[in-house]
Amino acid sequence: MKKNDAKTLIKAAKKNAENEIKESLITQLTEVTGKLSQPSKKLDKKIRKGAKQLAKRLAKDLKIDKSTLTANQPAEAPAEASDATTAS
């Protein structure tokens, strides 16, 4: 595997991890705030913004092992392609 390919895979894995962290934070925080108070757009906006910032910080510090990416490369490629088609 070329060095650029490895960097691309690591970058994609970090971005994927960031999105997963962000979505789980948003889900859990909105669930908790829904139990404690009435839902509001302002609170939802703050939750989304804070979750995005925290996920970015956490994903930045992640250490991705190159050997696991090369082993999972064929399995991950179709999943990423399907995510790209649904996002369009």
Q: Would you say residue 43 has pLDDT above 80? A: yes
Residue 88 clears pLDDT 70, i.e. is over it:
no
Counting Cα atoms < 13 Å in the Cβ hemisphere of 79 gives 8
Residues in the chain: 88
pLDDT band at 49 (very low <50, low <70, confident <90, very high): very high
**What is the average pLDDT across 4-22?**
88
pLDDT for 2 beyond 80? no
Say yes or no to pLDDT of 4 above 50: yes
Cα 20 from Cα 27, distance rounded (Å): 11
Domain definitions of the chain by residue range: 3-79
pLDDT band at 21 (very low <50, low <70, confident <90, very high): very high
